[in-house]
Structure 1
C-alpha cells in the first residue's frame, strides 16, 4: 500500500474530515491503520446494528407502552428510571450515527441522527456532533476541547486561577459535587440544544428546531395528561436526573484525569489520542452499558470503526503502542472514576489555598 493510500485510509478511519494533516498519519498512525484495515475492522456491521437499533427501539416503545398501561400511579417512577436508561442508550446510538459507524452515507446518518437525537430524546444532533467533533480533534486540550472548557467545572490549576463566577464558586469542592451535578446534565443537554438553534452555522436549523419542539411538547403533554401534577413533576425530575447521571458516568471515565494539553502543546495524531484517553476494563456487559466507549483509545484512533469491532482492535492497538513505547492506560470502572475525582480535586487546589488565605 502506498503512503497516499495509507493516508487516505487513515483519514477515513479517523473520521475527521477537514482536520489538519499533522504528518503522523503517514508514519506511526498510518502503519497502525494498515494493520487495522488488513484485519477488516473498519468493515460495516449491518447485522449488529440492525439488531441493536431494533432492541433499543423496542425498549423505547415498550417503556412508553408500560407508561400508558400503568396510568396515574407512583409506580411510574420505576418506568421513569427504565426510560432514563433507554434514553441514554438512544444517545449512544446517536453517537455511533454521528461517527458514521452505522451508515456509510452522510445523509442516512443525519436522518437517523435527527430522529434519534432531536425527536427521540430532545438533544440536538447537529449541536452535539459539532461539539463532539471538536473534542475528537483535540481531546483534553484546554483551548480547543469544549469538553474541558471551564463553564461549570474546572479541569486544571491554570483554569482555577483564571476562573470567575459559578466555576470559581464550585471549584473548591467540585470533586464532591461532580456526581450530584450530573443529575442536571440531562436538563443541560436540552437547554444547550435549544441555545444552539440560534447559530447560523447549525445545519438544518429548521428541521432541528421542529423536531426538538415536537419532542418537548409531546413529552410534557403525555406526562401531564396521564399523571397528576405532582407525579408528573416527580417523573420528569427522576427521569432526567438518571438520564444525566448515566450519560455522565459513560463519558467521564474516558478522559478525565488524563494529561491536559494547553497553548502550543502539540502531539502527533497517534499520541494525541492515546495519551489523553483511558480504556475501562470489562466484559460484554460493560461494552453494552458503556456503548463501547470503554474502548476509548481505539475509538479515538478510529472513530468510524463499528462498536463491536473495538474489542477486536484493542490487542492490535495495545501491542503497537508497546512497540513504540507509548503508554497505554487501562483501568477498572471504579478506578477510572477515582482518577477523575482526584484530578478534579487537584485542579481546584488553587481555589482552596486562596480561600484559606482569606480565611473563608
Structure 2
C-alpha cells in the first residue's frame, strides 16, 4: 500500500525514511491566511518547512515568507539566494517533513513541464557564469554617478545660482540620484559582489549616505515586489491602489461594484503624469521615517538625518535656504518622474490581480514586459528595460541580461508563454492606455445598477 500522508512510514533506515510525508493539500492548509498566529508552511525542493516562528526574523523581510506560506517556494528560494547550500543549513531546524512520493514536484495547478524546464535553465545559467559580476562595469556605474553628483555642486559653487547653472546643477544632481538608485538596486539584489556582506555594506553606503534612505526598508519592500509582482496586498508597489489609481481590470471592477470612489478614476490617465510623481515624493519621505521609527531602526534613522544635514551644509551656504529648497525638491520631483515612468512601463500595462499562485515563470511573465535594447535605453533605465530577465533572475548582474534573453525567449516560445518586448515610447504610452482602460472598467462597474 502507498504511504499515508502526515505519518512516518516503515522501518527507518535513512533520514528520508524518518521524514513525515505530506500532500500539497495539507501544505496549503497552513498558509496563515486566517490569522497571524496560524501555522505557516512552505515547500522547497519537495521538503516541507514550518516557518511559523522564523518568518518574522527572515533577513529578507518577514512578509516574503508569509506571502509564500502554503505554497511551493522552490524557485523563489533559488532566485533570491546565491549560496543555496549555505542557506539550507539554517533551514534544517525548520524541516518537518517532505512531500509524499506520489505528489508532483510542484503544485498540481502549475505547469510542471515549464517549471522543470526553467529549473534546468537556471542551472545552465549558473554553469555559463551569468550570475557572476564584472566589477569594471559596476566601477564605471558608480563613478559616473559620483562624478555627476560632485559636478552638480561644483557648478553652483563656481558659476553661482543664476538660472543657467541652477538648471544644469539640477539636471546633474537628478541624474546622479537616479543612477545611484539603479546602483543601490544592483547592490540590494546581491549582484555586484560575490560575497553577500560586501553587497550589504555598499548597499548601506549608497542608499543611506548618498541617497538618504534606510537599506532595510528597501529590502523589506522590494523583495516583496519580486516575490509576488503585481499581486494586490502582496506587492507593496501597488500601495497607491485604490487611493489614487484603479489598477487592472479585476481590481477596478471590484472597486466599482463596491461603489468606492476615492478619485475620479475615469480620468486617471490624465492626472497620472502630474499626481503620481508628487504623491510618490511625499510617500517616500513619510514612509522611510515611519518605517525607521516604527521598527526602531535608530542607526538607519540617524544616517538618513545625516544625509539631509550633509546636503544642506553643502548647498545652503552657496545659494541660500529658499533657493536650495527649490533646487532640492525640483530635483527630487524630476527624479520621481524618471523613476515612475521607467518602473511602471514594465508593470502597469501587465496583469494586476490578487495572488493566483502561478508558477515562477508564468507569474513573472504575467507581471513584466521588456523594452527594446539600445545603449541609451540600457543607461536611461538602469537595464530595467530587461525587466523579464531581471525578475526571473534577480541576483543576475544587469550586464548579463542581454545574454540570457534569447534563452528565456526560447523557453517561453516552447511553452506558449507570452514574452512581450516593445519600444520605450510605446511602453510609456501603454501606461496611460492601461490606466484609461482600467478607469473605464471601474466607471462601468460603478455606474451599473
TM, length-normalised to structure 2:
0.70
Q: Residue 197 of structure 1 contacts residue 209 of structure 1 at CA under 8 Å; is this kept in 2?
A: yes
- Is 2:255 the partner of 1:162? yes
2:365 counterpart of 1:270: no
- Say whether residues 1:321 and 2:412 are aligned partners: yes
Counterpart Cα distance in 2 of 1:28 and 1:354 = 41
With over 3 angstroms needed to count, the CA separation of the structure-2 counterparts of 1:244 and 1:167, relative to structure 1, is: farther
1:166 and 1:333 map into 2 onto residues whose CA distance is: 33
Number of equivalenced pairs: 350
Distance 1:39 1:8, change over 3 A: farther
5+ unaligned residues in a row in structure 1: which ranges? none
> Which residue matches 2:381?
290
Distance 1:354 1:260, change over 3 A: closer
Whether contact under 8 Å (1:153, 1:167) holds in the other structure is no
TM alignment of 1:1-360, pairs within 5 A: 11-15=77-81, 27-74=116-163, 75-149=165-239, 150=241, 151-160=243-252, 161-162=254-255, 168-184=262-278, 185-200=280-295, 205-263=297-355, 265-353=356-444
Equivalents in 1 of 2:412, 2:371: separation in Å?
A: 17
Are the equivalent residues in 1 in contact too, given 2:149–2:172 (CA < 8 A)?
Answer: no
| Structure with the bigger percentage of helix | 1
Taking a change above 3 Å as real, the CA distance of residues 40 and 125 of structure 1, as seen in their structure-2 partners, is same
Seen in structure 2, the aligned counterparts of structure 1 residues 351 and 178 have a Cα distance that, compared at 3 Å, is: same
Q: Which moved more, 1:163-172 or 1:190-199?
A: 163-172
Taking structure 1 as the reference length, what is the TM-score of the superposition? 0.87
Distance 1:165 1:44, change over 3 A: farther
Structure 1 residue 199: Cα displacement? 3.2
When structure 1 is superposed on structure 2, of 87-96 and 243-252 the one drifting more is: 243-252
Separation (CA, whole Å) in 2 of partners of 1:166 and 1:242? 31
Q: Which has the larger radius of gyration?
A: 2
